[in-house]
Amino acid sequence: MSQKEIKIADPKGKLGVLLPGLGAVATTLIAGVEAIKKGIAQPVGSVTQMGTIRLGKRTENRVPKIKDFIPLAGLEDLVFGGWDIFEDNCFEAAMNAGVLEEKLLNSVKAELSEIKPWPAVFEKKYVKKLDGTNVKKAATKMELVEKVREDIQNFKRENNLERMVMVWCGSTEVYIAPEDDIYKDLASFEKALVDNHAGIAPSMIYAYAAIAEGVPYANGAPNTSADFPAMMEFARQKGVPVIGKDFKTGQTLMKTILAPGFKARHLGIKGWFSTNILGNRDGEVLDDPDSFKAKEVSKLGVLDYILQPEVYPDLYGDMYHKVRINYYPPRGDNKEGWDNIDIFGWLGYDMQIKIDFLCRDSILAAPIVLDLVLFMDLAARAGMNGIQEWLSFYFKSPMVAEGLYPEHDIFIQLMKLKNTLRHLKGEELITHLGLEYYD
């Protein structure tokens, strides 16, 4: 039975894409979008650009592309801007990152060279392995908020933008458990900004500034940038969509694909050992134990939620799960993830699975950022605000409402995403029951 279509404002005019962190991921995204616009490459990995959505019964054969079904902004309407602690323009930063070939980058050099980073909010104690000169100075953190808001306002005015979205593409900050009173309500957090409280990380300043400007905010790192009650109160008050945390790219992507399969067939797991080697800026940052702690918390939680050891104690109750990340400069952006999985089957007989995923971290992350930009803009135009759980598909540690556990199974996440799109357009939700074909 069809439902009422939700009113979605048309995606008129230009959409600004605000990126804190113009490093490997952000420059790979921008270069890719410009190359796609020129017909040089295809948007492989992007659900919004290449994905389809089934509508109605299988016999109806209605399977449009998502971008033809739902009113999304077009790639030609995107305008990029952002902040970084290094002064390199986007072309120079992309060359330094070493993700894309020089020939491809030269084909979009003019467009990339025009994008120069604004001075960033940075505090070394939160990212101990990095240091840069392109940094904002202010007496208090509330003044830093005002400087970021000024950048956002200038960007909108100078580019004649209709709407904006912010996606954090910066480094992983040290782990913060949001237990202090400053995180519990908006008034306390705003007072802490004025008081220059040490517990407010740079990513929180960006998140607050985005919400204050009515800009949807997505967090691509495991930072506690918006995932606490005060920021959620602010997002609801301002009617702003928010989602995070931590882009699901390499090893964790594989876990959310494989673990649901093991669970579906009720195969037991004794142990899952994961290690990574990578040499990009992310690897350097994660070489610091405090930053690694934030990533570890994000990566470890996935299997517990998918496998439910408390429900299946005989299969997963004693599973040993270990995650390591090792900085190895020669690897560059081409991260390598090794997994050893000790499983057992019928009558308890042991088996092993070994995976060596030689992935390209930014190549996997760039289409995620593009999809989030377009879907978060859609959410704002549809009047959706607060946590956008339907976008859990893209994250290692998805934000959810208080009292809920996150869904990590990628197939459940994809069904949630597509059913949300069907819901917005008044189409029947797909349950895959199938009995109607045989009644």
pLDDT digits (tens, 9 = 90+) for 189-219: 999 999 999 999 999 999 999 999 999 999 9
CB atoms within 10 A of CB 375: 28
Question: Do the domain assignments include residue 36?
Answer: yes
Structure tokens at 93: 């930063």
Q: Which residues are CB-neighbours of 138 under 8 A, at least 6 positions away?
A: 144, 146, 147
Walk along the chain (439 residues) in steps of 10 and give the mean pLDDT of each run.
83 98 97 98 98 96 98 98 97 95 98 98 90 95 98 98 98 89 97 96 98 98 94 98 94 94 98 88 68 65 92 97 89 87 98 95 96 98 97 96 92 97 97 86
Please check whether residue 297 is in contact with residue 250, taking contact to mean a CB–CB distance below 8 angstroms. Answer: no
68 exposed, middle or buried (CB, 10 Å; 0-12, 13-18, 19+)? exposed
Q: Are residues 132 and 200 in the same domain?
A: yes
Question: Do the domain assignments include residue 4?
Answer: no
Q: Are residues 419 and 311 in the same domain?
A: no
Question: Do the domain assignments include residue 34?
Answer: yes
Please check whether residue 118 is in contact with residue 82, taking contact to mean a CB–CB distance below 8 angstroms. Answer: yes
Q: Which of 323, 358, 393 is the last residue of a domain?
A: 358
Question: Do the domain assignments include residue 438?
Answer: no
Nearest CA to 8 among 365, 269, 254, 374? 374
Question: Do the domain assignments include residue 320?
Answer: yes
- Partners of 354 in the β-ladder: 340
What pLDDT is recorded for position 219? 97
The dihedral of CA 148, 153, 155, 158: what is its sign?
A: negative
What pLDDT is recorded for position 193? 98
What pLDDT is recorded for position 60? 95
The reported pTM is 0.93
Nearest CA to 143 among 87, 209, 198, 85? 209
pLDDT digits (tens, 9 = 90+) for 4-59: 889 999 999 999 999 999 999 999 999 999 999 999 999 999 999 999 999 999 99
What CATH code is carried by the domain that includes residue 376? 3.40.50.720
What is the span of the domain harbouring residue 354?
Answer: 251-358
- Partners of 241 in the β-ladder: 386
Looking at the structure of the chain, the number of domains it has is: 2
